[in-house]
């Protein structure tokens, strides 16, 4: 596993669900030099600073849209975890340029600042919504992925870029689980979009381990995908609110029936490597021999074998979900 001792790590969007959990775990597991929290919300930073009360934390107010501020904050940074993004699907459809400015232009700014400052590794936090996107949010995250992968052509032998892509996070702020619990508390009625809808599920501990795995193995240009389980939304509701009245409302605009983590196109250059899927870049403009470890020790997927939530060979049970959420 990667050694982060005495490293300086910066997390964009560091006050979010992933960022806060990641920072807490890093402080517990490693003797880092310092961790920089880069985000826009001063109130969240204030609360996080008070809660963690650690002298190794630095809090930078700033927006990824501001390249000058990014360049300043990246000074002396070894690793950047880029988690900042706008992600509420309906809001982004109504405010499309805001999504573009943060998720796309903001990512390009992170790339420029990282190369200019000689950051060693940059890891983008992405989503299953980026695979065959059906809404603007997914489209902007797909573009962010492409930007990070291609950035390896410009980073030389100093700065390397990679991506982690995963599904719904159990317990994250604004997740479907949180929304369901709120609806149950407010009205007692649960809305179901479609009884057969499925989603991928991962918990915060698993996202942390995935990021460490990617930082340890990345050579630049990979998309790291965890082999996580699926669950039907109706089973999710059975686990959280088995007694509540249900109302089927139909699939919402921009939603998919099932999510995708690896497309058929990507499957042709993907390897099953040490319990993870690793998608190699389709256009490797830099040294392709760097990926030999994946080809030599990894297992090829069948041609056009996409990784779709409905076709998954791993499923999370109601009992397992209840245990994760502390409902048992």
Mean pLDDT of the chain: 92
Strands 57-61 and 34-39: parallel
Provide the 10 A C-beta neighbour count for residue 45.
Answer: 19
Q: Is 53 helix (H, G, I), strand (E, B) or coil?
A: coil
Judge: domain 8-167+202-227+260-306, CATH 3.40.640.10: no
pLDDT in tens, 274-283: 999 999 998 8
Ordered by start, the domain boundaries in the chain are 8-167+202-227+260-306
Stronger pLDDT, 190 or 38, i.e. the higher one: 38
Residue 201 contacts residue 168 (beta carbons within 8 Å): yes
pLDDT in tens, 2-14: 999 999 999 999 9
> What pLDDT does residue 178 have?
67
| Among 78, 65, 71, residue whose Cα is nearest residue 3 | 78
| Residue 112 CB burial class (10 angstroms; 0-12, 13-18, ≥19) | middle
Least confident of 27-31, 37-41, 184-188, 219-223: 184-188
pLDDT (average), residues 309-327? 84
Question: What percentage of the chain exceeds 90 in pLDDT?
Answer: 74
Catalytic residue flag (residue 129): yes
Across 112-126, 149-163, 180-194, 289-303, which has the greatest mean pLDDT?
A: 112-126
**What CA–CA distance (Å, rounded) separates 167 from 228?**
8
Q: Catalytic: which of 129, 141, 232, 256?
A: 129
Asked whether the predicted pLDDT for residue 52 surpasses 80, the reply is yes
pLDDT in tens, 174-230: 566 666 666 666 666 787 888 899 999 999 999 999 999 999 999 999 999 999 999
Provide the 10 A C-beta neighbour count for residue 250.
Answer: 9
- Those residues whose C-beta lies under 8 Å from the C-beta of residue 245, and which sit 6 or more positions away, are 188, 189, 190
| Residue 31 CB burial class (10 angstroms; 0-12, 13-18, ≥19) | exposed
What is the DSSP-derived secondary structure letter of residue 220? Answer: S
Give Cα 12 to chain centroid, integer Å.
12
> What pLDDT does residue 90 have?
92
Q: Is 72 helix (H, G, I), strand (E, B) or coil?
A: helix
Stronger pLDDT, 118 or 173, i.e. the higher one: 118
Asked whether the predicted pLDDT for residue 313 surpasses 90, the reply is yes
Q: Which two tokens stand for residue 255?
A: 């939603």
> What pLDDT does residue 292 have?
92
> What pLDDT does residue 180 have?
67
Give the sign of the dihedral formed by CA 92, CA 96, CA 101, CA 106. positive
pLDDT (average), residues 31-56? 97
pLDDT (average), residues 29-47? 97
Residue 82 contacts residue 70 (beta carbons within 8 Å): no
Give Cα 66 to chain centroid, integer Å.
22
pLDDT in tens, 86-143: 999 999 999 999 999 999 999 999 999 999 999 999 999 999 999 999 999 999 999 9
């Amino acid at each position: 596993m990667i050694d982060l001792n005495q490293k300086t790590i910066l997390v964009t969007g560091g006050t979010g669900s992933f960022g806060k959990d990641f920072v807490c775990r890093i402080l517990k597991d490693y003797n880092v030099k310092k961790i920089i929290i880069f985000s826009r919300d001063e109130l969240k930073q204030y609360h996080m600073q008070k809660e963690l009360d650690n002298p190794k934390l630095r809090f930078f107010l700033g927006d990824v849209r501001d390249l000058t501020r990014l360049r300043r904050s990246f000074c002396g940074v070894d690793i950047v975890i880029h988690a900042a993004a706008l992600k509420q699907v309906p809001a982004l459809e109504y405010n499309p340029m805001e999504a573009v400015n943060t998720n796309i232009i903001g990512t390009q700014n992170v790339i420029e600042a990282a190369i200019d400052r000689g950051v060693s590794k940059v890891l983008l936090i992405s989503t299953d919504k980026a695979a065959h996107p059906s809404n603007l949010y997914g489209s902007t995250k797909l573009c962010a992925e492409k930007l990070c992968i291609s950035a390896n052509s410009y980073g030389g032998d100093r700065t390397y870029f990679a991506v982690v892509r995963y599904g719904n996070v159990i317990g994250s702020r604004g997740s479907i689980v949180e929304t369901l619990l709120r609806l149950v508390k407010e009205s007692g009625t649960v809305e179901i979009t479609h009884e057969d809808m499925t989603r991928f599920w991962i918990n915060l501990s698993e996202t942390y381990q995935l990021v460490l795995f990617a930082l340890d193995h990345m050579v630049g240009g990979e998309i790291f995908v965890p082999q996580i389980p699926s669950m039907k939304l109706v089973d999710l509701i059975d686990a959280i609110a088995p007694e509540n009245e249900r109302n089927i409302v139909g699939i919402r605009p921009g939603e998919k029936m099932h999510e995708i983590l690896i497309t058929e196109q990507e499957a042709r250059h993907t390897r099953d490597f040490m319990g993870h899927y690793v998608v190699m870049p389709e256009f490797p403009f830099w040294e392709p021999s760097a990926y030999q470890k994946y080809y030599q020790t990894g297992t090829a997927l069948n041609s056009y074998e996409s990784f779709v939530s409905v076709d998954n060979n791993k499923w999370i049970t109601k009992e397992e979900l209840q245990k994760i959420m502390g409902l048992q």
